[in-house]
């Protein structure tokens, strides 16, 4: 299925090339913009169905899906919907946001219940930093994180969350510390995705 996932991502220009500043702080010549997929509900549902099958096949049945904003916005809804259809109970969709610009919080009157079983989702993982912060937040709030699920794992399978980690597509793409970035040394301007239009 991974070839089909890659074809689907490329069909909507979700795999982009250039000089990008990732949310991890690293630079890369590739950027995965999964919101390009999420704008098409049919595609989002297709990806979520594939991921939900993987999760359920592993014997994992969550009560809720939590994803960091803004990357996992929409994806957490598609995932909760797919898991809801496959399970016997209602699955909630929740997003965590950085209200003060730094720490993730669950806001807007939504609460994680004690012992609630949670899947943490992310659209793309590079270092896994954002997803790990949400895992930690879920634990802090009394929930039980069961697994992390991402559309694209950019680490090549190297991330260890200490709980099961699922991905639809694994890619080992180069990332650079800003001090060692060859594109910076060539004078190429860096783009923070979502702030500037760029061509793939």
pTM of the model: 0.83
CB burial string 135-161: b at 16+ within 10 A, e below: bebbeebebebbbbbbbbbbbeeebee
Q: Do 112 and 95 meet the contact criterion of CB atoms below 8 Å apart?
A: no
Query: Whole-number mean pLDDT of the chain?
Result: 89
Q: What is the mean pLDDT of residues 10-19?
A: 88
**CA pair distance 58, 62, nearest whole angstrom:** 12
| pLDDT greater than 50 at residue 196 | no
Model pLDDT, residue 3: 67
Q: What is the fold, at CATH topology level, of the domain defined by 34-173? A: Rossmann fold (3.40.50)
| pLDDT greater than 70 at residue 2 | no
pLDDT per position as a tens digit, 75-111: 999 999 999 998 878 999 999 998 776 789 898 989 9
Q: What is the mean pLDDT of residues 36-40?
A: 91
Model pLDDT, residue 199: 40
Angle subtended by helix axes 41-57 and 2-11, to nearest 10 = 160
| pLDDT greater than 80 at residue 23 | no
User: Does residue 198 or residue 74 have the better pLDDT?
Assistant: 74
Model pLDDT, residue 194: 63
pLDDT per position as a tens digit, 100-150: 767 898 989 899 999 999 999 999 898 899 999 999 999 999 999 999 999
Q: Do 62 and 115 meet the contact criterion of CB atoms below 8 Å apart?
A: no
pLDDT bucket at 161, cuts 50 / 70 / 90:
very high
Cα 125 from chain centroid (whole Å):
6
């Amino acid at each position: 299925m991974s070839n089909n996932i890659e074809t689907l991502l490329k069909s909507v220009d979700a795999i982009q090339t250039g000089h990008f500043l990732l949310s991890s702080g690293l630079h890369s010549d590739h950027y995965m913009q999964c919101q390009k997929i999420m704008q098409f509900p049919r595609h989002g549902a297709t990806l979520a169905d594939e991921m939900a099958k993987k999760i359920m096949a592993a014997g994992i049945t969550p009560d809720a899906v939590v994803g960091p904003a803004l990357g996992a916005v929409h994806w957490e809804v598609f995932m909760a919907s797919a898991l809801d259809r496959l399970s016997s109970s209602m699955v909630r969709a929740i997003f965590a946001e950085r209200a003060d610009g730094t720490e993730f919080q669950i806001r807007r009157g939504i609460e994680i219940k004690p012992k609630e079983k949670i899947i943490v989702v992310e659209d793309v993982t590079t270092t896994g930093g954002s997803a790990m912060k949400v895992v930690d937040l879920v634990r802090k709030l009394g929930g039980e994180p069961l697994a992390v699920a991402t559309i694209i794992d950019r680490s090549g399978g190297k991330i260890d969350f200490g709980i099961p980690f699922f991905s639809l597509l694994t890619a080992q793409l180069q990332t650079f510390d800003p001090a060692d970035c060859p594109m910076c040394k060539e004078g190429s301007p860096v783009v923070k995705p979502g702030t500037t239009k760029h061509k793939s």
